[in-house]
A and B are shown apart, each in its own frame.
Chain A
Amino acid sequence: MNYNSGKPISGLRSQIPKFVNFQNIFYFFCVLLLVIDFSFITHHETSFDSIPFFYAAFGFFGSVIFVILAVKIRKLLLRAEDYFDD
């Protein structure tokens, strides 16, 4: 079983600094949208989406939760690439 042939995560990280400026713009947009959302817009699709920053918080923490859950689930589900081939 060769689980280490995947792409090293350091390779991914080394790519990211090239996007530092892009990232700053990205975060600027995030904050800008939050400000607009907080100041001007009211949501009334459901009874609780009018809570300030609901969508932003849901998007962020929802993502963190399912990635962490996926990592936990992987321990149970991971098998070798040729597990079914025999």
Chain B
Amino acid sequence: MIEFPPGLILIFGAILVPILKGYVRLVWTLILPLFAFLVILSLPNGNLFSLNAFGQELQLMRVDQLSRLFSYVFLLASFIGGIYSFHLRDSIEAPASLIYGGASVGAVFCGDLLSLFVFWEITAIASVFLILARKTARARSSAIRYLIIQIGSGMLLFAGLTIRWHQTGNIDFGHIGLDSPGGLLIFLAFGIKCAFPLLHSWLVDAYPEATVTGTVILSIFTTKLAIYVLARGFAGTEELIWIGAIMASFPIFYAILENDLRRVLSYSLINQLGFMVVAIGIGTEMALNGAAAHAFTHIIYKALLLMSVGALLYRTGTSLGSQLGGLFKSMPLTAGFCMIGAASISAFPFFSGFVSKAIILSAVAHEGYFVTWLVLLFASAGTLHYVGIKIPYFAFFSSQPGIKVKEAPINMLIAMALAAALCIFIGVYPSLLYDLLPYPINYVPYTASHILSQSLLLLFSASAFIILLRKGIYPKQLNSTHLDVDWFYRKPGRDLIRYIFIMTSSFYNHLGSNLIDRFERFVYQLYRHHGPHGVLARTWPTGSMVLWVAVLLVAYLLFYFI
């Protein structure tokens, strides 16, 4: 049995990747997650590895069902991502993806907040390279905004953990709760990475700007790591229910309007996270099972959707809905895989989304949160519209003559086929996923009532799409920008900073020139008095000295007699 954090297998293994070429590199990038998976499989539950540092015991390997489930799906996604990015000749993206994945796996096994912080920051730094690797000006500025926000989240986590350390004397990562200032800061740090409403703009800003493979990898780790830590630290926090409900509903509007299909999928990512956040807020065993199961299925179908849109971007050079269309004939396999992903995210019966989303909806209804239940139902109908129908329709079926391309490269097709097979397999045999869940579960997703209610919801939502499209009411796909929260720091915020910069620089200039002026005058005065021709430096004749001594003597005598 190997007793060290399994995430390190990927992190140290990544060092070799830049010097390897071709199939050797592929095999190496696939062996690493596979090996880490086997290691985790062989581990018993419990705290298996700890270090003593700063007077604290750092738990680097807390193995339980929840951390196992997230590590399995992270490694599975790393494996699929490794196949998908086989065509890359670049020596930054592949190692950055592995380090990012390794840090995420490392983070889910952390039993204390300090080691969590270390892995938390490694994910931030490794992931930014996946955006920078796009090598466009837009991607660069987006990457800088992304990094500032991610590091900001890390700083909040650090501040929160030090306050907690000071108050409680330990930094164990168990249930945290919102009843202390440290807890609040940690909640905010997790909230940034989980894309809470108003804190979400980094996600929809940066993810669509990353490389073809980068967006797929980015969609897997950061946000789901945030779901894991929220489930661990804030389960049953009532505030999460309405935060999640807002997350599930507001992205619908943006996703319907947005033209860039990768940005549509980024908004849909927030919407899906909303379901998980609601479940964590409810906090019952069933709800937490639902959140974990949905995170698992979501990682796979979201990666599948982003891989298919990425393949379009790779072949056509664009992911804009207004410029794509009619690609069904040139890329039939990619279209098929995309539709499987779309069916899974829309939660069609016998696809993976159905078996996980149903647990959450049942848990919400069971606890009596009817308004939240209605919001989630509304969000389910929305998901079908903007991902289930919109993505395949605008990419593959709408008429846009003139684009003739080759089918996606074979490695991309294999990766998509694997993810698609998993989507169907989990949908048909949900017990495979249910056995991995953190709490015992006795849930039957396939009842006549469930299947029929979901089918009716989806079919009638789809019929609304057809009617609205035919009536010309459905919004056109426009080459445009839709304002989001990032407007505040990208327009007025940036202008404010520029203004402050100009003001402070002119103030310093003014202050500087004034000081230099005074200094020059001082030197001039000094020179005038002490310089070679200065009064005080002059060589006076002896006679004048005698005269001055006589004057002083007379003055002295006068004072004496007075």
**Set of chain A residues within 8 Å of B138, measured between Cβ atoms:** 85
CB-CB under 8 A for A74 and B477, given A11-B398, A33-B452, A41-B452: no
Name the interface residues of B451-477: CB closer than 8 Å to any CB of A: 452-466, 468-470, 472-477
Stretch binding the partner chain, chosen from B148-156, B252-260, B546-554: B252-260
Best-surrounded residue of A33, A55, A76 (most CB of chain B within 10 A): A55
A13→B393 CA distance, assembly (Å): 12
Interface 0/1 of A43-65, CB less than 8 Å to B: 11111110001011111111110
- Per-residue B-contact encoding for A69-85, CB less than 8 Å = 1, 0 else: 11101101111111111
Closest to B324 in A: A7
Q: Is the CB of A67 within 8 A of B459?
A: no
Q: Which residue of A lies closest to B370 (CB)?
A: A46
**Are B362 and A83 touching (Cβ within 8 A)?**
no
Indicate whether A30 sits within 8 Å of B459 (C-beta atoms), given known contacts A6-B259, A45-B361.
Answer: yes
B469 partner residues in chain A, CB cutoff 8 A: 9, 12-13, 16
- A23 and B466 in contact, given A58-B457, A81-B479 (Cβ under 8 angstroms): yes
Are B470 and A67 in contact (CB-based, < 8 A)? no
Cβ–Cβ < 8 Å partners of A58 in chain B: 374, 377-378, 381, 457
Tell me, rounded to whole Å, the shortest Cβ–Cβ distance linking B125 to chain A.
25
Whether the pair B456, A59 counts as a contact (CB closer than 8 A) is: yes
Tell whether B242 is near chain A: CB-to-CB under 8 Å: no
B480: which of A49, A63, A71, A81 is its contact (CB, 8 Å)? A81
Contact A27:B470 (CB < 8 A) given known A56-B456, A59-B457: no
Answer whether residue B244 sits at the interface, using C-beta atoms and an 8 A cutoff.
Answer: no
A70 and B456 contact, Cβ closer than 8 Å, known pairs A5-B322, A26-B463, A45-B449: no
CB contacts (< 8 Å) of A9 on chain B: these are 469, 472, 474, 476
The complex places the Cα of A47 from the Cα of B456 at a distance, in Å, of 18
For the complex, is B544 an interface residue (Cβ under 8 Å from A)?
no
Given A13-B470, A30-B459, A55-B453: A83 touches B481 (CB 8 Å cut-off): yes
B258 to chain A, nearest CB (A): 10
Q: Would you give the shortest CB distance from B10 to chain A, in whole angstroms?
A: 35
Interchain Cβ contacts within 8 Å, total number: 179
**With A58-B377, A67-B468, A84-B490 as given contacts, are A74 and B461 in contact (CB-CB < 8 Å)?**
no
Looking at the assembled complex, report how far the CB atom of A84 sits from the nearest CB atom of chain B, in whole angstroms.
5
Residue B399 lies at the interface, judged by CB distance under 8 Å to chain A: yes
Assuming the contacts A45-B362, A59-B456, asked whether A70 and B480 have C-beta atoms less than 8 A apart, the reply is no
Does B24 count as interface, using CB distance less than 8 angstroms?
A: no
Indicate if the CB atoms of A59 and B482 lie closer than 8 Å: no
Report whether B456 and A69 are in contact in the complex, using a CB–CB cutoff of 8 Å: no
Q: Which of B322, B461, B481 is A6 in contact with, Cβ under 8 Å?
A: B322
Across the interface, B481 reaches (CB within 8 A) one of A11, A44, A48, A81, namely A81
A71 to B338, CA, bound (A): 26
Report whether A11 and B399 are in contact in the complex, using a CB–CB cutoff of 8 Å. yes
Partner of A69, one of B253, B325, B464, B465: B253
Q: Does B5 contact A (CB under 8 A)?
A: no
B557 at interface by CB-CB < 8 Å: no
| Contact across chains for A37 and B456 when beta carbons are under 8 A apart | yes
Q: Is the CB of B464 within 8 A of A79?
A: no
The minimal Cβ–Cβ distance linking A7 to chain B, given in whole angstroms, is 5
B463 in complex: contacting residue of A6, A47, A53, A60, CB < 8 Å: A60
Pick from A27, A37, A67: contact of B464, CB under 8 Å: A67
Q: How far is A85 from B209 in the complex, measured between Cα atoms in Å?
A: 14
State whether B473 touches A67 (Cβ < 8 A). yes
Contact B479–A6 (Cβ < 8 Å): yes
- B483 on interface, CB distance cutoff 8 Å: yes
A8-48 CB mask vs B (1 if < 8 Å, else 0) is 11011111100000010011011001101100111111111
In angstroms, Cα B465 to Cα A42, docked, is: 27
Contact of B296 with A by CB under 8 A? no
Given contacts A33-B456, A60-B461, 6 further A-B contacts (CB under 8 A): A5-B322, A6-B477, A60-B463, A77-B482, A77-B484, A78-B478
Q: List 25 A-B contacts (CB under 8 A).
A: A5-B478, A6-B476, A7-B321, A7-B325, A7-B398, A11-B400, A12-B469, A15-B397, A16-B470, A41-B452, A43-B449, A55-B460, A56-B459, A56-B460, A58-B374, A59-B458, A59-B460, A59-B461, A59-B464, A62-B381, A64-B464, A66-B253, A67-B385, A81-B480, A85-B138
Top 8 closest pairs, chain A to chain B, by CB: A63-B464, A59-B460, A59-B461, A59-B457, A6-B478, A60-B460, A55-B456, A70-B256
